[in-house]
Amino acid sequence: MRRTGFVSLLCAVVLYAGSRFVRRFGFDERLFGVELEPLTLLGLTLASLLLAFYGSYTICQSYLLTHTQNKRRRHDVRNVLRLTFGILGMVAVFGVVTREWVSVLFSLGVLGFAVTFALQQPLFSLIGWLYIMTKRPYQVGDRIAIEEMRGDVVAVDFFVTEVWEIDGDLVSSNQPSGRIVTVPNSTVLSSRVVNFYGEGVQYVWNELSIQVAYETDLQFASEVMVDVATDHLGDEMAEQVREYRDRLAETPVELDVNEQPTVNVVQSESWVELRLRYLVHPRRGTRMRNALYEDILERFNEHPDRVKFPVSRNR
């Protein structure tokens, strides 16, 4: 890619030299009564200008992407360079064609007001993109929920965000549906955005509920659930809780966060619900819940005298 950029710059220099040669020596050729010298000068100048911008864009992109290891940052760098060189190239082309740089900039300003009324939604989406780039409500790779859609962000362009859908109408239990949902960037300015996998704390709290009968030894059942969750999560959860506390320390929010899984007991009319609360990576939530269910139920079935389940007529 970088070699292509240097070749483009070399071609731009050659074309610019050609335009200077034509300007200095000139020629009086005509085609259908039209002088070819002004058109030749304009064509050579525009071609050299466009090649110069393309070569500079290619070299800058290659250099920055090579020195940026994070895939999310590389995606952002590519978009920012495209926007920057696109705007500069458009202004330069108009300036060369009209030869009035000040009037071009003024015209673009006047045109901007007109376009604001004609293209409100695309402009709001572009503003939304700038907001996403600066405030970072989400970025590529994050799992988000926006409006009624949930999924993993795969691309953030100037006007839309592409999301790999999870759940939706086809599947459940946080599983990908295989569909790509396109969301206008303007949505972040007017809707609630939930980020399950952002900077700082990259884990979320999950709950697993199991219904048992009133005759159950609740203390024993709770200890079994905590032991199973500790075997599966253990040090990983403790480490993430410490990061969670560090993040909370930077805010005025005061919360008591346990380093180990906990169980909350909820009373219902015909049974008792045991809710296991634990910290897990959002992309492993369903897999972890299934593993916990299997091990907990297996441990419960080993002690039928201490753990009993509600009979079917009461559920």
By three-state DSSP, how is residue 153 classified?
A: strand
pLDDT of residue 175: 74
Please report, as a single letter, which amino acid is at residue 7: V
By three-state DSSP, how is residue 253 classified?
A: coil
Answer yes or no: is pLDDT of 34 > 50: no
Residues of the chain above pLDDT 70, percent: 76
* Upper half-sphere CA count for residue 21 (Cβ side, 13 Å): 7
Instruction: Read off the pLDDT of residues 268-279 as tens digits, 9 standing for 90 and up.
Output: 888 899 999 998
Backbone torsion region of residue 23, taken as left when φ is above 0, otherwise alpha when ψ lies between -120 and 50, otherwise beta: alpha
What element of type H or E holds 211? strand 204-212
Closest CA to 141 of 194, 64, 71, 206: 71
Please report, as a single letter, which amino acid is at residue 235: D
238 against 1, higher pLDDT: 238
Ramachandran angles phi, psi of 52, nearest 5°: -65, -45
Closest CA to 53 of 86, 101, 79: 86
pLDDT of residue 101: 47
Closest CA to 243 of 227, 221, 259: 259
C-alpha–C-alpha distance, residues 251 and 41, integer Å: 62
Residue 252 CA, chain-centre distance (Å), reads: 27
pLDDT of residue 297: 92
Mean pLDDT of the residues in the chain: 78
Instruction: Read off the pLDDT of residues 16-27 as tens digits, 9 standing for 90 and up.
Output: 777 777 666 665
Mean pLDDT value of segment 159-166? 88
Are 2 and 63 in contact, with CB atoms under 8 Å apart? yes
C-alpha–C-alpha distance, residues 232 and 251, integer Å: 30
Are 251 and 258 in contact, with CB atoms under 8 Å apart? no
Look-up of token digits 């060189």: 85
Mean pLDDT value of segment 270-296? 89
104 against 279, higher pLDDT: 279
pLDDT of residue 274: 93
Closest CA to 138 of 95, 88, 195, 81: 195
C-alpha–C-alpha distance, residues 80 and 60, integer Å: 11
Are 194 and 144 in contact, with CB atoms under 8 Å apart? yes
115 band by pLDDT with thresholds 50, 70 and 90: low
Answer yes or no: is pLDDT of 87 > 50: yes
pTM assigned to the model: 0.57
30 band by pLDDT with thresholds 50, 70 and 90: low
Instruction: Read off the pLDDT of residues 42-55 as tens digits, 9 standing for 90 and up.
Output: 677 777 877 887 77
